[in-house]
Structure 1
Amino acid sequence: MVRAVIVSNQKIVSGVSTNTYFINQEYTLPVISLSTNPDNFFDDEIGIYVPGVNYDPERNNPDSSGNYYQTGSEWERPVHIEFFETNGEPTFSQNAGARIHGDYTRRFGQKSLRLYSRSDYGVSRFNYQFFNTKRIDDFNRLILGDSGNDWGLTMFRDGAMQSLIHQLGLDTQHYRHTVLFINGEYWGIHNLRDRLDKHYLETHYTDWIGSIIPFLKDKAVITKV
C-alpha cells in the first residue's frame, strides 16, 4: 500500500493518492484494501478499533466498554477504500468514513466496520455493483461484517440464510465474502453487506417514491404541516 502527495517548496500541493499493490499474491475472493492514518484505528485516544481510554476495568462487564463501543459521528474516521475483483483488477477506489458496527461483536478480535459515503469525502455515493445477486450499483452505506455471533465459526451463516429468500422479492441483505487488508496488513475474511436503513430506501426505491408523490399530491393526501 502506497500513499503519496506532491510537495513543492516544503508545502503539500496535492491531495493524497492511494494505491495498493499485491506482489505474487492471488486470491479467489474479492479483496478490499482500507488505508488510513494508523492512529484512526489504533491510537488509545482516538482509535476506534482498540479498548483505549474508554475501557473501564471496574465495570461489571468491562468488555462492553472501550473505544470500540463509542458511537456517533465523532467516532467516524476517514479511510480510503480500494476494491479488487477476483481477477485481481482494481475496480473501485474512493475516500469514505468508517465506524465500528454492531453490538456485542464489537469486542471480538475482528470487528464489523460500517462504511459511509459522504460528499465531505469527495463522493456522496458508492457507485459500483458490488453484489452480483442484485442490480443496484448505488449505495450510501456498506458493512464489512465479521458475521456477528457466527464469528469464529462458519462466518457466513447469516448471509447464507438471507440468500435463501432473495427470490421472494423481500428486502434482504446481500453479501460477498471478501479478503480485507488494513494499511497493507491482512485482516482476514469479512462479509461485504448492504445496510438496511433510511438510505437503503432512498437508493433502492427512488423511482417508485418519485412516481407516487405526484399522485399523492394530486389526491390531496400530502399536505404541508
Structure 2
Amino acid sequence: MSGNLADLSAGELLTLFRGKKASPLEAAKDVLARIADLNDDVNVFRLIDEVGTLEDAKQSERRWFKGEPLGLVDGIPVSVKDVLLTKGWSTLLGSKLTSPDQPWDEDAPPVARLREYGAVFVGKTNTSEFHWKTVTDSPLTGITRNPWNPELAPGGSCGGAAVAVATGMGPLALGTDGGGSIRVPCSFTGVFGLKPTFGRVPQYPAGAF
C-alpha cells in the first residue's frame, strides 16, 4: 500500500489487515519511524521499545496471514500511559521518586486485556508527576508540547497519550482519568478520548482515583 500507515485509524488498519493490503509489521515500522521523526519535538514517550514492538508485530502478522487474529486490536500499535503497570517495562509515574529497580513482572488489567487480544505495545507515554495535574510536565520527563502549537500545553495528565494519537505515533493510546486526565488533553489536541463508566475497567493497583 502507498502512503504512511501511521496516518490511519485503528479501524482503517484493521480493514487493511483483513484484506491483506497491509500488515501489522508494516504499520509498526511506520509508527516507529513517525516517533523517530517527531518525538524529540513534542516529548511524548518516556520509554520506546522498538525491538519488542517489532517482535510483537511479527507475531501478529503471522496470525493474520493464517486468518487467526486474536481480536479487534491484533496488530494495532498502542501506547501505555506511564502510570499503568506493563510487564517488562518500568512504570515510573512521571517521578524521580519511583525506583526503576523493581521486578515489573505484571500488567494492569487493561494492559493485560489488550495484550490478550494481540495489541502491539510501542512504549510508555509521559504524564505529570503521579498524574495529579491537568498539564503534562514532570521532573522526570520535562514538558510535553502541544503538536499544533509548541508554545501551548496539551493538557494532562494524559498529554503524552493524546499527543501520540494526534501526531500518528500510534492510533490508540491507553490512559487513565480521575478528573479529566483523558478528556482535557484530547480536547486540547483534537482527538477522541473516552473515560469509561467508573468500575467498568478493573483498577490495579488501587489508587486515589
TM-score when normalising by structure 2: 0.30
Q: Which has the higher strand share?
A: 1
Higher RCO (CA-CA < 8 Å; seq separation 6+):
2
Bigger Rg, structure 1 or 2: 1
Whose helix fraction is larger, Structure 1's or Structure 2's? 2
TM-score (normalised: structure 1): 0.28
